[in-house]
Amino acid sequence: MSRSCRLHLPLLSRGSAFALLCLLLRTLEVDALNLTLNNSHNATCLRAQWQMNFTIEYETLNHGLKNVTIQVPSNASYSGSDCGTNDNISQIKVQFGSGFFWTVNFIRENSAYFIDVISFSYDTSDNNAFPDAKEKGKVSTTFEVNTIGVPLDEFFRCRSVMTVTERNVTHNYWDILVQAFIQNNTISTKEYLCDEDESIVSTTAVTTMPVPTAKPIPKERPYPGTYSVTSGGAVCLLATMGLQLNITKDEVTSLLNINPNTTDCHGECHKESATLRLNDSSNEYLEFLFAVKNGNRFYLKGVNVSLTFVNGSDFVAANNNLNCWDAPIGSSYMCNKEDTIAVSDTFQINTFDLRVQPFNVVEGKYSTAQECFADSDLNFLIPIAVGVALGFLIILVFISYIIGRKKSHTGYQSV
């Protein structure tokens, strides 16, 4: 059904520079394909802008071979595009019209990434696109590109038209700007030009398009997730929380919100201890360890974290001597306001809308809550207490002044 070949992109002849310029002017009117992808941590991992069209040769019933050119409409769908789960393969999927599918894979190898494989499929039973088609059905083509290696942290740019013919389809790609495997949510400002553009830049001045500036990772309130652990078919641990990780690595602090929609959990419940382990599709995890103290209270005793996202290297932190989220067994601990768990010098967890019950969950529901101090109305009493204390102090000073005066007065009298 499909055959693979290596794409050797032809160099444009110098003489076509003028034609190219005209082409650029003309194509400015056409909507570019435009896509930005985020990873599970909401950090941008890929951005792409490009134009493409396809000329497809097919056999008609009565008029022999015919060529149709397919333009990508502006309402094409990119669903299914993603940065992959293992950080080394990303894919863009474009779907449009009735039955056109286009995909490109990017692979990462050491310090470079490659545009790997392009696939294109169409359906000749679409009478609008392929009038009079003799054979009706799906046709798929695939070819390998991976001769273009772009250094990580650079974006690939090609304004020139790249043309490749694979079976009955002639692919045209132009005005390409793509960066895959974006590191640290930082969009690169370094461009890696295709050979075709290099030769044009040296002959005609081409104005550079503005490059979007890098966005810092946002500090939004994390979306709360509800996690539960079951034992013997019954829920034995419940936790609802929005989690924001504050990681300091190489003197740079980054905030990472846990997306509950892409996070799994599991754990264990024992009589005197319980664990809740959150993980995503990479091998990253965040583990909470609960313990019992004095036989009647529970607390968060430990946190373990292992992340791989920072520059592809590992980040780990652990602390088994915490004393947070303290509440009586048989109740739950609740803290709606932002609270912080300092796990280590380089790692802290900011919690939001927290409610947790690691022991004695009945019928899968939280028991009565013990609220954290930050939430409690007792907060109001602080200024009052301070005021009262100050008042006392003033009265005390006043009394001692009176007594002092009286004493010195009597002392004076006796002399």
- Residues near ligand NAG (CB under 6 A) are 23, 32, 34, 36, 38, 42-44, 49, 53, 55, 57-59, 65-67, 69, 73, 75, 86, 88, 108-110, 135, 139, 153, 161, 168, 170, 172, 174, 183-186, 215, 218-220, 223, 246, 248-250, 252-255, 257, 259, 261-262, 264, 279-281, 310-311, 348, 350
Best CA proximity match to 312, nearest among 110, 106, 155? 110
Complex with ligand NAG: residue 42 or 360, whichever CB lies closer = 42
- For residue 311, the minimal CB distance to ligand NAG (Å) is 5
> Of 145, 149, 147, 123, which Cα lies nearest the Cα of 136?
123
Tell me which residue has tokens 């802290």.
Answer: 348
Q: What is the smallest separation between the CB atom of 130 and ligand NAG, expressed in angstroms?
A: 8
Q: Least distance to ligand NAG from the beta carbon of 299, Å?
A: 22
Minimum CB separation from ligand NAG for residue 114, in Å? 12
Minimum Å gap between C-beta 138 and ligand NAG is: 9
Residues contacting 125, CB < 8 A, separation 6+ = 99, 133, 136, 137
Residue 83 identity (one-letter amino acid) = C
In whole angstroms, the minimum distance from the beta carbon of 48 to ligand NAG comes to 9
Choice between 332 and 348, CB closer to ligand NAG: 348
Q: Which is nearer to ligand NAG, 125 or 367 (by Cβ)?
A: 125
120: left (phi over 0), alpha (psi -120 to 50) or beta: beta
38 burial class (0-12, 13-18, 19+ CB within 10 angstroms)? Answer: middle
Strand partners of residue 241: 225
Tokens of 372: 């954290």
| 166/280 with CB nearer ligand NAG | 280
* 222/358 with CB nearer ligand NAG: 222
CB of 382 to ligand NAG, least distance (A): 23
| DSSP H or E segment with residue 333 | strand 332-335
412's tokens: 């004076």
| C-alpha span between 12 and 203 (Å, rounded) | 12
Task: Report how far residue 32's alpha carbon sits from residue 285's, in angstroms, rounded to the nearest whole number.
Answer: 39
Looking at beta carbons only, is 34 or 368 nearer to ligand NAG?
Answer: 34
In this complex, which beta carbon is closest to ligand NAG, that of residue 254 or of residue 332?
A: 254
* 168 and 133 Cβ atoms separated by less than 8 Å: no
